[in-house]
């Protein structure tokens, strides 16, 4: 960019987002502190720095008890403003009752009642308030009963990522008790299927459609290992695999040898996640026509489908939603395009959408094809703790090439290591991921100096610092 700050000289500005790399004075469980990071140490010693609050009301979440996450972090960074986020919008809509007067809710409920069919709820089952909240689910199940729905089936995606790693039964058992208070001769409600969020259904950026296929087989077709209850499934699979909740295999609840909750013609389905990135692919699977080619759906039931929010405002996915998403305007990308500044956005698949879709205010397209270049480095489909460096070297190679090209006035990059590896719970792997990132930073900063650029090094939320 060329302006009065640089005395009219053309110099690029680069924003480096170290995803999930936060700061705390605590050293226990702090992989950032434990890692050998001479580049970060040098930056802390020689350059100005300050702390940003990346959670709660500072980034548009309902309260300061709500932890930050990558979506709201990139919304805030890309917009330079604070907008009310999905969790707050949904909570307000439920508290006011507005969600139940929406056309989508009325259509889905009306369809179930007319057909004498089932209403299905599918989504992340915790109170992490990053992708969903169990209180939203409980409120909607109760309202469905009040509205005269006779049959409800619930498909639970176990968390262990935004909440405790093995906390699933802390949600399942009280929820089963809650359902028992609603269940009567006229209201048949139960959990029908489930599995770990990193195993089924909640893929993002089309990194691993096989996850969605497994979810489809589990929730829709009722195919898979059967158990009498969700508690039995979790206890058994945890004992057999030693996996934390997010990695538990899929399971189907059965009675008398038959799945209790397959999705059939005439049913209605609500995906109750409010966050978009891990909601788009399953929405496509439900709504796409015969040209869908990501996997063999085997059987495609004729259902009424809705998301909690509209997950992609450009592609209008899904076609029905219960709550209108936040309207984020005046983003940095749009502002710079209007000023004629050429931009680069780059990351690997796991965070590519964060420096594009979320950075641009939940907008999937470019503002200007000529002035913007987006680069996605394909992520490896392996457990992150097995390859903790992820694609940071490849991202760095391309980024440096683009810096030296002199084409771009503004560049932004996301390194997913601290977040994705941090979520595995492996301290050793996260420490390695930080050291790999630090090596890449050293290479990048040399290139920035060579082109007389400016680097702004930041994060979107914490994770690797609090293992």
Per residue in 368-386, pLDDT (tens digit) is: 999 999 999 999 989 999 9
Residues 23 and 50 in one domain: yes
Q: Show the domain range for 62.
A: 4-83+327-458
Residues 391 and 344 in one domain: yes
Q: Which of 268, 288, 323 is the last residue of a domain?
A: 323
Q: Which of 295, 323, 351 is the last residue of a domain?
A: 323
Residues 102 and 25 in one domain: no
Whether 463 is in a domain gets the answer no
Position 418 scores a pLDDT of: 95
Q: How many domains is the chain built from?
A: 2
Residues 155 and 280 in one domain: yes
Residues 21 and 165 in one domain: no
Q: Which of 112, 178, 123, 181 is nearest to 150 (CA)?
A: 112
Position 5 scores a pLDDT of: 60
Mean pLDDT by 10 residues, the chain (467 residues): 65 96 95 97 95 90 80 92 84 95 97 98 95 97 98 98 95 98 98 98 93 98 98 98 97 97 98 93 96 97 96 84 86 96 97 94 91 97 94 98 97 96 94 98 98 97 92
Position 337 scores a pLDDT of: 97
Whether 465 is in a domain gets the answer no
Residues 299 and 444 in one domain: no
279 is a catalytic site residue: no
Whether 372 is in a domain gets the answer yes
Residues 103 and 71 in one domain: no
Residues 91 and 153 in one domain: yes
Position 79 scores a pLDDT of: 93
Residues 104 and 210 in one domain: yes
Contact at 8 Å (CB) between 191 and 222? Answer: no
Angle at 415 between CA 308 and CA 33, to 5 degrees: 110
Per residue in 349-360, pLDDT (tens digit) is: 999 999 999 999
Residues 177 and 58 in one domain: no
What is the CATH number for 348?
3.40.720.10
Position 227 scores a pLDDT of: 98
Q: Point out the catalytic residue in the list 2, 4, 63, 70.
A: 70
Whether 413 is in a domain gets the answer yes
Whether 384 is in a domain gets the answer yes
Residues 57 and 176 in one domain: no
Contact at 8 Å (CB) between 70 and 91? Answer: no
Q: Which of 272, 302, 323 is the last residue of a domain?
A: 323
Whether 25 is in a domain gets the answer yes
Position 6 scores a pLDDT of: 66
Whether 467 is in a domain gets the answer no
What is the CATH number for 119?
3.40.1450.10
Whether 464 is in a domain gets the answer no
Residues 277 and 401 in one domain: no
Distance spanning both ends of the chain, measured CA to CA:
39
């Amino acid at each position: 960019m060329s302006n009065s700050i640089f005395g009219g000289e053309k110099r690029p500005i680069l924003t480096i987002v170290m995803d999930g790399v936060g700061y705390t004075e605590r050293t226990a469980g702090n992989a950032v502190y434990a890692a050998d990071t001479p580049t970060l140490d040098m930056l802390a010693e020689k350059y100005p720095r300050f702390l940003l609050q990346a959670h709660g009301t500072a980034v548009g979440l309902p309260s300061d008890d709500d932890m930050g996450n990558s979506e709201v972090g990139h919304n805030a960074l890309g917009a330079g403003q604070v907008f009310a986020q999905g969790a707050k919008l949904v909570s307000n809509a439920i508290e006011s009752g507005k969600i139940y007067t929406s056309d989508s809710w009325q259509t889905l409920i009306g369809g179930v009642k007319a057909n004498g069919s089932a209403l299905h709820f599918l989504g992340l089952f915790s109170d992490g308030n990053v992708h969903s909240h169990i209180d939203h689910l409980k409120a909607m199940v109760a309202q469905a009963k009040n509205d005269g729905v006779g049959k409800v089936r619930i498909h639970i995606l176990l968390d262990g990522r935004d909440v405790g790693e093995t906390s699933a039964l802390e949600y399942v058992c009280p929820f089963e008790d809650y359902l028992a208070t609603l269940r009567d001769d006229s209201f048949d409600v139960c959990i029908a299927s489930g599995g770990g969020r990193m195993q089924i259904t909640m893929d993002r950026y089309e990194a691993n459609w096989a996850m969605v296929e497994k979810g489809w087989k589990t929730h829709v077709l009722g195919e898979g290992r059967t158990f009498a209850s969700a508690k039995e499934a979790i206890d058994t699979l945890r004992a057999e695999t030693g996996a934390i909740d997010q990695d538990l295999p899929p399971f189907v609840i059965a009675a008398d040898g038959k799945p209790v909750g397959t999705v059939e013609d005439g049913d209605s389905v609500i995906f109750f996640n409010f966050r978009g990135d891990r909601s788009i692919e399953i929405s496509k699977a439900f709504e796409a026509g015969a040209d869908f080619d990501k996997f063999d759906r085997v059987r495609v039931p004729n259902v009424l489908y809705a998301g909690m929010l509209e997950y992609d405002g450009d592609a209008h996915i899904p076609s029905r939603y219960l709550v209108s998403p936040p309207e984020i305007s005046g983003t940095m990308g749009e502002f710079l395009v209007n000023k004629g500044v050429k931009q680069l956005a780059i990351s690997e698949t796991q965070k590519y959408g964060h420096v594009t879709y979320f950075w641009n205010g939940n907008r999937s397209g470019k503002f200007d094809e000529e002035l913007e270049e987006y680069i996605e480095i394909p992520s490896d489909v392996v457990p992150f703790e097995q390859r903790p460096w992820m694609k940071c070297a490849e991202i760095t190679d391309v980024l440096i090439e683009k810096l030296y090209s002199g084409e771009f006035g503004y560049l932004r990059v996301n390194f997913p290591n601290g977040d994705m590896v941090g979520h595995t719970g492996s301290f050793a792997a996260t420490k390695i991921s930080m050291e790999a990132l630090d090596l890449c930073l050293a290479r990048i900063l040399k290139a920035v100096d060579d082109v007389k650029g400016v680097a702004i090094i930041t994060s979107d939320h914490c994770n690797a610092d609090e293992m």
